[in-house]
Copies of this chain bind each other. A is one copy, B any other.
Amino acid sequence: MARIALDAMGGDFAPQATVAGALLALGELDSAHSIQLVGRTAVVSEQLDALLADPAYAAARAQRERITIVEAPDVIEMTDKPGAAVRGKPNSSMIVGLKLQADGTSDAFVSAGNTGAQMAASMVVLRLHAGLKRPAIATIFPSALNPVVVLDSGANVDCSADELVQFARLGAVYAEDMLGRDNPAVGLLSIGEEPEKGNAVVKEAHQLLQAAGLNFVGNVEGRDLPAGACDRGPIDVVVCDGFVGNVVLKFYEGTAPFIMGLLKQSGIDEKTMMGALKQLDYSEHGGAPLLGVNGVSIISHGKSSPRAIKNAVKVAVQAIETRMNEHIGRRLHEGAGAGAA
């Protein structure tokens, strides 16, 4: 039984996309799960009523009783500065939604709102696991083999080698619990497979990772990401600092539309093409967990559709059911015990 708090006001298409996404999610999830829509009650209930009156959502009417609306009069805007927003808007849907978890009345929080604010608020409200300085954002990259977990994708710009090792531990638990990988293969993103290739931090991290008790397969290169494998075999997790991870993630997001545009110009049928490239659509994965906070906080893309919100809610449920947060705490503790990170 999982209780998911959803930031009804977060994202470019809220509250329509968030409320619709909640209904879609409940339609697919076991009936024991429930959703808390956090936001301005009047706005959220009006949206909910409108959707339930829509014949397209007729099947969702049975889900109404699994939804509660939690009042939060304020909203953190996309343009708000994270720190100031967290301090200045304690009654925002983001802070109220996260606090439900701290109070023990919710099991997870999902938002498509201001990512920086969600990160800052998650650190303040949920706190971090011992030994961590910042959380990391783990993103799923589709590949020719299996999807690959890439972290950090933007939470940490200047990272130490120790932090890269922590990302490796966080990513390994994520790959185990959320992707069902056994003894996940962890690669370090660099510019050559030899241990002496890379910048100063990466070279140091390579040495630390060899002694970290993980299934470390060494350095991987940019081309290994879409391949899902390096010369030494498949890869499950790729570790990098949040600057590199964010550049690559956004580059990827931009490359698929560019390539599809080229194909369209040459007359290739768009529907066939979209079908073929379905796995490149980030809304398929829906949500990136903020790893390292003591709780569950799922970041959705600002442009999330109802479908993306639905998938983000399902990611939250899976994180709860697999006890990912507990496993992260244990793994980080083991790492500290081994003295390797």
Contacts and interface: CB of A to CB of B under 8 A. Distances in A.
Secondary structure of the A contact surface, majority rule: helix
A261 B189 contact: no
A232 interface: no
Interface hub of A158, A242, A247 (most chain B Cβ within 10 A):
A247
Interface residues of A, number: 53
Interface string A220-245: 01111111000000000000111110
Contact of A198 (B240, B243, B250, B254): B243
A247 to B, nearest CB: 4
A275 interface: yes
23 contacts: A157-B198, A157-B199, A158-B199, A189-B247, A191-B246, A199-B241, A222-B247, A222-B248, A222-B251, A222-B252, A222-B254, A223-B250, A223-B253, A223-B254, A225-B251, A227-B254, A243-B244, A248-B251, A252-B255, A256-B259, A259-B280, A263-B263, A268-B276
Interface of A: 143-144, 154, 157-158, 189-191, 198-200, 202, 221-227, 240-244, 246-259, 261-263, 265-269, 272-273, 275-277, 279-280
